[in-house]
Amino acid sequence: WILALAPAARFEDFEPSDTRVQYFWEALNNFTNEDRSRFLRFVTGRSRLPARIYIYPDKLGYETTDALPESSTCSSTLFLPHYASAKVCEEKLRYAAYNCVAIDTDMSPWEE
């Protein structure tokens, strides 16, 4: 799954050494299949791998453990906060994926 998503993920406005990129991949690597489907739905509105997703730094610009990631499903864009660790990144991405269920362009019901 990670190998399929990696070529479709575009990191915009990140320095090559930015730890957010590393933390993002570590977090997704620990996701279950259900977590991954919900993450994709959170970012793209679809539960299947998209053609492309875009990841931008969030607007805060400083390290946080409180902020949740934001997404724009119209453009398949994730705004990723600067978390202190991969574990915090994983927890926040998972929380957002399971608790934001307003968009579903697959038109398929989810068991809540």
Measure the CA–CA gap between 65 and 20, rounded to whole angstroms. Answer: 13
Measure the CA–CA gap between 73 and 17, rounded to whole angstroms. Answer: 27
Which of 2, 74, 84, 101 is the catalytic position?
Answer: 74
Active site residue 74: yes
How close are the terminal C-alpha atoms of the chain, in Å?
24
R_g of the chain computed on alpha carbons: 13
Whether the CB-CB separation of 31 and 53 falls below 8 Å is answered with no
- What's the angle, vertex CA 29, arms to CA 112 and CA 59, rounded to 5? 80
Among all residues, which ones are annotated catalytic?
A: 74
